[in-house]
Homo-oligomer: A and B are copies of this chain.
Amino acid sequence: MLIECVPNVSEGRRAEIIEAMAVAIRGVTGVRLLDHSSDASHNRSVFTLVGHAEGVRNAVLALAERAVADIDLRTHRGEHPRLGAVDVVPFVPIEGVTMMECVELARQVGAEIARRFNVPVFLYEEASVNPARKNLEDIRRGEFEGLAAKMRAPEWAPDFGPATPHPSAGATVVGARMPLIAYNINLATDRLDVAKKIAAAIRQSSGGFRFVKAAGFRLESRGIVQVSMNLTNYEKTPIFRVFETVKREAARYGVAILESEIVGLVPSAGLTGAAEFYLQLEGFNADQVLENKLRQD
């Protein structure tokens, strides 16, 4: 069983504080810290953990203990919107685990953060129990500075913990979502209007695929344009379907695809799904991938 967790913490400048959080995570068994990166202008750090449910749960709690002790939102400044010291904690199913199990885990960990650190917790995305509070941006609107006022409204009572913000650590948003794939397609043209029209055709907000966010950009240095995307559920809106649709839409303007690129990490199944589609593979099973067998008991 593999669960990914990507906690975002409101500290991106003080190296010794960030390192202490990484050390806290590394001290937990059953979980691996794959990566962590900090942005000074955002004043924010992102940790990428993978492990089984128990390992990931304990790592998040160890990280939260340090973050709540070391971060004070009253003096925190940064460009990125934030609500708390531990700002947002998404749990992501990778392999051998259902979304529902990640939702359960998110709710358990949310309740535990509230209990141990006296921090109010809001559930979001798949873990949300309130349809009006599914979206992270809605929950975070007003930020830490507006939180005490916001929480006075009954519809902003937290899912767990006290009815008012923690004085220094604010509130934490905990949830479950599918892995996000950052995917770009570069077009063999400098026509920005073509990239923008294709982005509009494929993204959910303007009638496209449900799990695609997209925008058209110019890549000035190369004299070409790009359709830049986030794929928020590669099982239901797979990479190959998006690629083929972009290709077809581009052809309507006489434009070819130059190349595509995956930015950062992708679950193995995101790529083998494309191989299955194009090779018309029948009866293929992830257990046939040699490397997957190695991680089984």
Contacts and interface: CB of A to CB of B under 8 A. Distances in A.
Interface of A: 2, 4, 32, 34-35, 50, 94-95, 179, 186, 239-240, 243, 257-262, 264-268, 271-272, 274-275, 278-284, 288-295
A291 B291 contact: yes
A264 B288 contact: yes
Nearest to A274: B275
Contacts of A264: 288
Nearest to A285: B262
Given A290-B50, A291-B295, A260 B281 contact: yes
Contact of A288 (B240, B265, B284): B265
Given A266-B288, A271-B289, A272-B271, A281 B259 contact: yes
A154 B250 CA distance: 67
A292 B292 CA distance: 9
Contacts of A265: 288-290, 293
B274 A289 contact: no
Contacts of A4: 290
Contacts of A94: 290-291
A131 to B, nearest CB: 31
22 contacts: A2-B291, A32-B294, A34-B290, A35-B293, A50-B293, A94-B291, A239-B279, A240-B278, A261-B284, A262-B288, A265-B290, A266-B289, A267-B291, A268-B289, A268-B291, A268-B292, A271-B272, A272-B272, A275-B275, A275-B278, A291-B291, A291-B295
Contact of A34 (B271, B272, B282, B294): B294
